[in-house]
A and B are shown apart, each in its own frame.
Chain A
Amino acid sequence: MFKRKAKKPKEATYREVWQHGDLATKLSFFIMGFAQLKNKQWVKGLSFLITEVVFLIWMVFSGVSALSMLTTLGTIKHKQVVFDKTQGVYITKMPDNSVVILLFGVLAVILVIAMIGLYVANLRSVRHLYALKRDGEHVPTNGEDLASLLDKKLYGTLLAIPIAGVVAFTILPTVYMISMAFTNYDSKHPIGFSWTGFAAFKNVLSGDLAGTFFPVLGWTLVWAICATATTFFFGVLLAMLIESKGIKHKGFWRTIFVIVYAVPQFISLLMMAQFLDLQGPLNTLLLNWGWIAHPINFISASANPMVARITVIIVNMWIGVPVSMLVSTAIIQNLPQDQIEAARIDGANAFQIFRSVTFPQILFVMAPALIQQFIGNINNFNVIFLLTGGYPMNNNYNGAGDTDLLVTWLYNLVFGQTQRYNASAVLGILIFIISATVSLIAYRRTNAFKEG
């Protein structure tokens, strides 16, 4: 990209700044914003200074204690029931609330890291000022500084609020959850818990949950592959069908299919579950027509696991195909026609053209989106939770059923009977590792494919 050329003074080293800088510069190493203030950069200087003061006050009053509590997650681990004579009732003295301690500890760590970043920024700014003055360059004024926020530093201005949001609502919770995996936070230690290292990982990978984890993991991967592949492939076929010559009112046909996708899933899937029930309308209909002798057990708790899994994939197509049909339509309409024409002149039939020209082109455009979809399907909570609730039951599993994905099992571990929060955090981390590995491999492959 074309960049505006700005004459950049040669930067100094910090050592030089420290040795040759004036008093204000030296002080800036301890009191942020000093050098800027001296150079009349009031806004910059004051923001540095005030931030540091606020940070130090927070450190003294709560930061230090938050960080030190983080090591133990609270000292009182057990409740005590005492009789309160004045009220004439029993009172329970609670253990320290580790959840809150952990959360604020993580927050404190993040704040300290942010402060270190700011300190580095301050040093850079001091060094830059020093170099400017050393070389007799123009030192930016307040106004210029502020103006640059809308020009060269626009990225900072526009990103400030989103980054704050991401830190508060994504990074902080994620770090918190990762740390939860290393504790004994479960139904036995619901309020006061402690660090237990990799014990929870051991439970999942070789302990009482291993017999559930590996089969569920296997099904999760199978599901993600099948769900992604079927919706994509049939979506393309449907798009080709609607786009084919002679079909009128293309928009109308597309809309019919899109309606299914647009209906909120928690209604369409919940009702689909009834639709497919043993005594549901579909079975009733098929029985009345005499197509089947006994009702088919599609997805109930006592269904055959294989039948249920196939049903889930088919119902997912019902929801997913319209979307990929829409997207494929857009791609098909923009496909370069020359190759297709060339193939046609060579005497290829429609099927051959589709197989060797159209489909690869669509695949090429869609590859990144397909990887995204695959990750999305690994974490496809809605379809499983609302349609089958993890059923059919499996007597070899612990707290999961035959169609449960890792993510719905994670949900059950948190909100179900057993409340194993730490195990659910472990699952979350493992899901992340799986998703990351898969996408890394896939992106590499597609890049090679694109370059090759």
Chain B
Amino acid sequence: MKSYTAQRRLSLILRYILLVILAIVWIFPIVWIVLASFSYNDTGFVSTIIPNKFTLQNYIGIFTSKQFPFVNWILNTTFVSVVSATLSTLVTICVAYVLSRLRFRMRKPFLQIALVLGMFPGFMSMIALYYILKSFNMLNLFGLILVYVGGAGLGFYVAKGFFDTIPTAIDEAAEMDGATQWQTFIHIGLPMSRPIIVYTALMAFIGPWIDFIFSGIILSSSGNAKSYTIAYGLYNMVHATKGTSTMYFTQFIAGCVIIAIPITVLFVIMQKFYVNGITAGADKG
């Protein structure tokens, strides 16, 4: 008969083994992607786990490429991300705060309309968005920012859930002291919402780095590769030409790895905020 501690130990060992296996399964494809970015390959297809030939050429190539202004793409995307994260956060926090803490006549209808609008597939509006931006002559990075920020007014659920968890007594106390609602918002609401501001900003910041559909529709007409964002630029690199994509394929992977690193690091550092955001939103839905 096994003693209790031996049983405990066995269970722990088994759990460790399971965890290690799972971790390997999960991380393996990612490791393979990174390895592939260091491989020499001219067929556009990576069929081996370990590259046949290691090379740094892909990374050198992508930064010095004449056809694909990779550095411009990074700068563009950074610009779009920073601006749209700032504006989106502002918009989202304002909307969430108002809908959560203030009471007014149109509140319920607004919530319902927002819920309904959120259920239309975003792709449906692509053609219309294109023409709206075109009529303002905004088929450029600024137009892209507008699109990202324009949708932010509807992405308030998580932030609203967070505000709902803050007791209203605080607001009422401030009101008793004669503070206007504006002062309450600035001096009490905003400082308390730091975690949710971080979460919203993080999400809005990552968006432009991974969106290749909207950016493609809005930026592609210019035909000027220097004006692309990274996601569309890379996507275009392997989709726009036949026969040549094979030459650039490993460069494409290298480019992807380069942008994946900061996003991944950012996300991992901020995962605490991310969890807080999601669970806050999940509390009341």
Partner-B contacts on A (CB < 8 A): 1-4, 99-100, 103, 147, 150-152, 154-159, 161-163, 165-166, 168-174, 176-177, 180, 238, 241-242, 244-247, 253-268, 271-272, 274-275, 277, 279-281, 284-285, 318, 322-323, 326-327, 329-331, 365-369, 371-372, 375, 379, 381, 407, 410-411, 414, 421, 424-425, 428, 431-432, 435-436, 439, 443, 446
Contact = CB atoms under 8 A, between A and B. Distances in A.
B125 A174 contact: yes
A242 B110 CA distance: 41
A276 to B, nearest CB: 9
A446 to B, nearest CB: 8
A2 B175 contact: yes
B2 interface: no
A371 B285 contact: yes
Interface residues of B, number: 93
Interface in B70-103: 91, 94-95, 97-98, 102-103
B285 A367 contact: yes
B127 interface: yes
Given A99-B131, A161-B91, A330-B275, A266 B212 contact: yes
Interface of B: 8, 12, 15-16, 18-19, 22-23, 26-27, 29-30, 32-33, 36, 45-49, 91, 94-95, 97-98, 102-104, 107, 110, 114-129, 131-132, 135, 146-147, 149-154, 157, 168, 172, 175, 180-182, 185, 209-210, 212-213, 231, 234-235, 253, 256-257, 259-260, 263-264, 266-268, 271, 274-276, 278-279, 281-285
B30 A259 contact: yes
Given A281-B49, A407-B123, A169 B129 contact: yes
B19 A375 contact: no
A32 to B, nearest CB: 20
Contacts of A365: 279, 282-283
A257 B282 contact: no
A411 B36 CA distance: 30
Contact of B147 (A169, A247, A260, A261): A169
A31 B61 CA distance: 67
- Return the 9 tightest CB-CB contacts between A and B, nearest first: A368-B285, A169-B150, A173-B125, A162-B153, A173-B128, A150-B182, A267-B256, A262-B267, A428-B124
13 contacts: A158-B95, A162-B95, A173-B132, A259-B268, A264-B263, A281-B32, A281-B46, A284-B47, A284-B49, A367-B285, A372-B157, A424-B124, A432-B120
B15 A246 contact: yes
Given A2-B175, A170-B154, A173-B124, A439 B129 contact: no
A3 B172 CA distance: 9
B104 A177 contact: no
B124 A244 contact: no
Nearest to A168: B150
Contacts of B281: 368-369
Contacts of B48: 281, 284
A165 B91 CA distance: 9
